Amino acid sequence: MKLVVVGGGIAGLSAAHRAVEVARERADGFLVEAGPDSFLSEKPWALALCRRLGIEDRLVRTDDRFRKVFVWYRGRLHPLPDGFQLLAPTTLLPFAASSLFSVPGKLRVALDLVLPRGSGDDESLGAFVRRRLGAQALERVAQPLVAGIYTADPDDLSLMATMPRFLELERNDRSVILGLRRALRRTPLPGTSGARWSLFVSVAGGMEELVTTLAARLPADAVALEHRVSALERVGERWRVATAEGCAF
C-alpha cells in the first residue's frame, strides 16, 4: 500500500512519521505489527465487514496454547495475572501475587470493589481506568493492551466508543471487578462473539490486509491516484474538486 502525504509542514511531516511507525514486517517467520494488531470480537461491526469483504476465512484468533500476555516494565517481562479481562482482574489471588503491580497499586485496583458508581456520562478510556482502578492499572495494563487495538493514547479515546462494555458494567454492577466476575459465571467466554472467536481477532496477513481489501473493492472510477488537487469550490449544495491534470469531481 502506498501513502502520499501532501504538504511538508509540521502536520505533514508528523503524519509521514506516524505512517512509518505504523507498519509491519516479517522476521524469522513471524508477522510483527508496528501499529494496531487486532480488533475486538465483541464489536460485531468489524466481523460483519470482514464477512462482506469475503475474508472471514482469513481471520485468526489467539492461540489458546499461547494465550499468556506479558508486559514489558522496568527492563523485564511481567506476565499479566491470570484472570485479567483486558482492564481488570476477575480472580484476586493471581493478581495479588503479580510482580507487575506494587502493593499500593494492588490496593488501588481493589478499591474498585467499594467505589460508588460514576455519573454514567461518557469519558475518556484513560480517565475511566484511572478513576476506577488507578494509575498503575492504566500505565501497566490498559495502555499496553489498548495500543495493540487503537494505537492511541487512552486519554484521547472515548470509553463509550471504544469499550462501552466497561461503562455498562459500572452502571449495572457498580464495580467493574464484580461485574466481570458475574459475567464470567454467566458466560464461559465473556467479551467474545462466540466460542469461535477469542476476544482479540486479526487477519492472517496483518491488519493491512483489511485495508488493502477495502481499497480494492472501491469502484475504479471513484478513485483517482496521483492527481494534484488545484481547486475546491462550493457549487450549489455540492463541492467541486478540480485537479491540476484537468479532472473534476
CATH 1.10.3110.10 residue ranges of the chain are 68-196
Q: Would you put residue 99 in left (φ > 0), alpha (ψ -120 to 50) or beta?
A: alpha
pLDDT score for 156: 92
Give the DSSP H/E element, type plus range, for residue 182: helix 176-186
CA atoms within 13 Å, Cβ hemisphere of 160: 5
* CATH fold group of domain 1-65+198-217: Polyamine Oxidase; Chain A, domain 2 (3.90.660)
Cell (9 digits) for 4:
502520499
* Interval 146-156: pLDDT, tens: 877 787 889 99
Phi, psi of 76 (to 5 degrees): -150, 165
Cell (9 digits) for 26:
516479517
Phi, psi of 129 (to 5 degrees): -65, -40
pLDDT score for 13: 64
Give the DSSP H/E element, type plus range, for residue 242: strand 238-243
**CA distance readout (Å), 44 to 28, 48, 110, 166, 196:** 33, 6, 31, 17, 13
Cell (9 digits) for 242:
478540480
| CATH architecture for segment(s) 68-196 | Orthogonal Bundle (1.10)
pLDDT under 70: residue ranges of the chain = 1-10, 12-24, 34-35, 64, 67, 187-197, 218-226
pLDDT score for 14: 63
Phi, psi of 152 (to 5 degrees): -150, 165
* Interval 90-104: pLDDT, tens: 988 999 999 999 999
pTM of the model: 0.64
pLDDT score for 193: 38
Alpha carbons 86 and 42: distance in angstroms, whole number: 12
CB 132 within 8 A of CB 115: yes
The residues that bridge with 231 in the sheet, in sequence order, are: 242
pLDDT score for 120: 80
CATH 3.90.660.20 residue ranges of the chain are 1-65+198-217
